[in-house]
Amino acid sequence: MTMYYFLGSLFLLLLLLFKWWRGWTKMTRLPPGTMGWPLLGETLELIAAYKTTNPEPFTEKRQSRFGPVFKTHLLGKPTIYSTDSEVNKFVLQNEGRLFASSYPMSLEKILGKNSLLLTRGHLHKQLYSLTWSFVSSHVLKSHLMAEIEDIVCSTLSTWRNYIGQEQVIYVQDEAKKATFNVSVNQLLSTSVDAEWIEALRKEYLLLVEGFFSLPFNFPGTTYGRALQARSQITKRVTEVVNQRKALVAGYETTSMIITLAVKFLTDHSAVLEHLKAELNSIKNNKKSGDKLSWSDFKSMVFTQCVINETLRMGNMVGGVFRKALQDVDIQGFTIPKGWIVFASFRAVHLDEANFTDAHVFNPWRWLGCNASSNLNFKFTPFGGGPRFCPGHELARVQISVFLYYLLTQFR
């Protein structure tokens, strides 16, 4: 009995040593980096950086010290932070096999577990296909582009009321109104009055603010207001059509890109004049009252260059979160099962190794370049892999139409 007890104890000891060795080996093969404070990690430092006009130092400081891939601890999770386009490509292309979409619990509560961003597997494919059916090229050609044009013209027509007055027009607010109206009309497939849309838009603004706040659900907090707004949005939409409970996801990023495009054009007169020449050429070839056609949109070559460069520098989607479904080896490192990977698009877009003079606004760099190919994942404003944004062409049409009427009718 003593011998059996000894052998059994020895076996358990060896098993524990083996497990410890495997864990130690795995941890020693992690990318370099720091984990920050207990529980909080480096979350507060990240949030503080994004509250400034230049959030790059959070990433650049770690890049220079640890390289393009480093470990950290963000939003309550141990995280591998990637600023490497090849690593990002690997992560995005292995969605569903080695990695799965995973976002902080605070964001899940705001969006709901059945949102397109959070669903997985068959349900995600169904929702993706449904979303695509609303915004495909066929839909844009057949009627949606004309509806976008009507809404943009209606929005900009109110500006004429201010001629001769010292009235400030906030481009961001006007762009949000236009893009939100397009989204609501298309997703709900019904006409609703302007007051209803404006009330819904205000609730949605509160919802979006909650995306980037600390998850404290107390009265008066940003996160608490976001959760209340989500309930109000669901209630309002349900009142209009019980069969669909849609949150309008793409309007915020599109309206911000419009705003940034106007900002960049204001700061770069040569780009502005080149773009105006292209758009006025299209206008001069049309009869008064003619609508823009799909061929007009396709002929806006330099317009797309401006949009690409705004997307590259604006980085409205800074990156995506994925969760490792198993231990994953890449570039000599191990990403442990259960760890989060943050694939940073922003860092790749602003990397001098990928774009010459990366911090300079230069739309001409895109002439003759097929941006839709993702440039081998060096340009991913709409993501990549199975979760490539289904509304990417809708966004381009909305921005193009807005810029067309802005620059051909206003100074």
Binding residue ranges for heme: 389
CA distance 69 to 341: 10
Helix (H, G, I), strand (E, B) or coil at 245: coil
User: Which candidate, 285, 284, 319, 359, places its Cα nearest to that of 92?
Assistant: 319
Can you say which residues are annotated as belonging to the binding site?
389
Inter-CA distances, 407 with 145, 299, 394, Å: 18, 16, 20
CA distance 193 to 70: 50
Residue positions counted in the chain: 411
Residue entry with tokens 């190919």: 373
Q: Determine how many CB atoms are found less than 10 A away from the CB of residue 45.
A: 16
CA distance 211 to 188: 24
DSSP assignment of 82-106: E--HHHHHHHHHTBTTTEEE---HH
Inter-CA distances, 306 with 152, 271, 309, 382, 395, Å: 19, 8, 5, 16, 13
Residues 6+ apart with CB under 8 A from 162: 169
Residues 6+ apart with CB under 8 A from 161: none
DSSP 8-state secondary structure symbol assigned to residue 142: I
CA distance 320 to 111: 15
State the Cα angle at 395 between 394 and 399, rounded to 5°. Answer: 120
Helix (H, G, I), strand (E, B) or coil at 229: helix
CA distance 303 to 404: 9
Residue entry with tokens 């298309």: 186
